[in-house]
Structure 1
Amino acid sequence: MKILPLLLLLCSFVPTPPFGGLGGSTCVRAQTSGSSAYRTLYDLPYRPESADPYARERCKLDLYYPTDSSGFATIVFFHGGGLEAGEKHFLNAWENAGVAVVSANYRLSPRVKNPVYTEDAAAAIAWTLQHIGDYGGDPARIYITGHSAGGYLASMVALDTTYLAAHGEHPDSLAGLLSFSGHTISHFTARKENGLAWNDVRVDQYAPLSHLRISPLPIVLITGDREKELFGRYEETAYFWRMLVASGHPDATLHELAGFNHGNMVVPAAQLTLNWIREREAQQRKKKP
């Protein structure tokens, strides 16, 4: 477990608005920064076969990727909002960083019920695994993440193998899971759908905690300050990390971002994610003969 001090983080991360934007129809934006060129594609459907009008509305993703390189890493990001709200967006730390970013919407409660939103997240990840190569990306360098509800969705898809199996994929083919303050117990919205109170804690099949398994998938869990986070969010995440380690998972890390609450922890967490990817891939290159 690593506790990152507030002053160190403030020296490294400056909050800025998300780059990119939301489009009402599929469109392309090309941009150039220094010697690097990037293109953004908006509203790509990742469940085009669905007959559900709400799926056709919400099951779309935006793709931001470099056009002057190939074999690049990709970060798949799911927005927060308690599984009841939120829109796809990009995080500023990942702009012009040499990586592609996929930002995906998913269907929301109460218009759909658990586990439809997790199934959507899995479909978006599967789309990335199967199509990022068309844009020059490396399918073996896909990292999944999300904030709050988005972190929960990413964790569920990474731990419960059945969601990606429905698309002929396996989460261990991913390069890493990095969750930003995501539920590790059953999500409170899923509990609310069943008439349960917010503090009626459940660890059932819809909890990442119930799918502990030893795998090569690197797992990085990031929370805000335990005194500033949502109720119990740090503690449940710390327990999840401890159980991963105790179960024999070889590559699990917990970061607590001192001084940051549930909302503003996203900025340092995004930079931490980028730094972690760069450092890990640099180490992997050194190991190759």
Structure 2
Amino acid sequence: MRVYFTLFLIIITSINFFAQELNYKIEENISYYPTNESGLTAYQRAQCRLDIYWPTRKKDVPVIIWFHGGGLTGGSKEIPQALKDKGYCIVGVGYRLSPQVKAATSIDDATAAIAWVFENIARYNGNSKSIFVSGHSAGGYLALMSVMDKSRLKSYEIDANKVAGLIPFSGHTITHFTIRAERGIPGEQPIIDEFAPLYYVRKDAPPTLLITGDRELEMLGRYEENAYFYRMMKVAGQEKIKHYEMQGYGHNMTSPAFPLLIDFIEKFKE
């Protein structure tokens, strides 16, 4: 009888423990530009906001900044369901979109959002030394651009190499097709300039996991440009980089890719 009572106490204690661990809160529509800044447009005030989903009873947890896809012309901030309740602080970021602004403005917004997270995430039990930047498609491109071009975060007095990891899902590594379209350049013509992550290949970049769909099912050239980025980073001397091809999946390969993101975070978190 005493054995059963002991087991009962263990089970009840475990249930209470996990109940506490899985207590999460969400705060929505936080502006990541100073709201008292007079130069902000109405569109910027409305669009440049983020949502935070975090565990309330656990401190210094890894942080995932997630940028939505949509070709820099559509989509809205989101916190992927697959990343919830895993012990992380999740930040879903909104940003301005073309044609309301030039598409490159999205990169400015992404950088501002990352800087805000570095400065404020401790209030939400996040660890500023364990910030991972990710996103799908256009969001993957923004993740890469805002960190690979070190000058962007440097303008906020943040060293881009303090980012714990980069995990773009099917992101452009050449200049984004919407930026090219604004210049009258067709999608079949690749460009590598200051708006291409490939332009900033360097040895000292944060650990990186490139995830793409099957090369035969992906969007035009998306697998190949990521493979080239991977190769050039290796040539530059970056050893902490991998490229994973989700065989059998096309561009919308987020669901089976999320476990790879989680494994990556567990490997490189502080």
Q: Percent identity at matched positions? A: 41
d(CA) in 1 for partners of 2:102, 2:266: 37
d(CA) in 2 for partners of 1:136, 1:147: 25
Matches within 5 A, 1:56-205: 56-205=45-194
d(CA) in 2 for partners of 1:114, 1:106: 10
- Counterpart position of 2:266: 278
Instruction: Give, in angstroms, the shift of residue 115 of structure 1.
Output: 2.1
- Counterpart position of 2:220: 231
- Counterpart position of 1:41: 27
d(CA) in 2 for partners of 1:268, 1:90: 16
Helix, strand or coil: the match of 1:235? helix
- Report the structure, 1 or 2, having the larger helix content: 2
Q: Which amino acid aligns with 2:261?
A: T
Answer whether contact 1:72 1:136 (CA < 8 A) is retained.
yes
What is the total number of aligned residue pairs between the two structures?
250
- Label 1:213 to 1:279 Cα distance change in 2 as closer, same or farther (>3 A): closer
Helix, strand or coil: the match of 1:54? helix
d(CA) in 2 for partners of 1:90, 1:261: 22
Instruction: Give, in angstroms, the shift of residue 141 of structure 1.
Output: 0.5
d(CA) in 2 for partners of 1:114, 1:62: 22
Note the residue ranges of structure 1 that are not aligned, 5 or more in a row: 1-32, 285-289
- Label 1:280 to 1:161 Cα distance change in 2 as closer, same or farther (>3 A): closer
Instruction: Give, in angstroms, the shift of residue 100 of structure 1.
Output: 0.5
Higher relative contact order at CA 8 Å, sep ≥6: structure 1 or structure 2? 1
Note the residue ranges of structure 2 that are not aligned, 5 or more in a row: 1-17
- Counterpart position of 1:18: none
d(CA) in 2 for partners of 1:153, 1:231: 18
Helix, strand or coil: the match of 2:242? strand
Structure 2 length as normaliser, TM-score? 0.90
| Structure 1 ranges of 4+ moved more than 4 A | none
d(CA) in 2 for partners of 1:106, 1:268: 26
2:206 paired with 1:217 = yes
Answer whether contact 1:215 1:250 (CA < 8 A) is retained.
no
Q: Which entry has the higher C-alpha Rg, 1 or 2?
A: 2
Helix, strand or coil: the match of 2:23? strand
Residues 101-124 of structure 1, C-alpha deviations (whole Å, 9 max, x = no match): 000010001111142110000000
Structure 1 length as normaliser, TM-score? 0.84
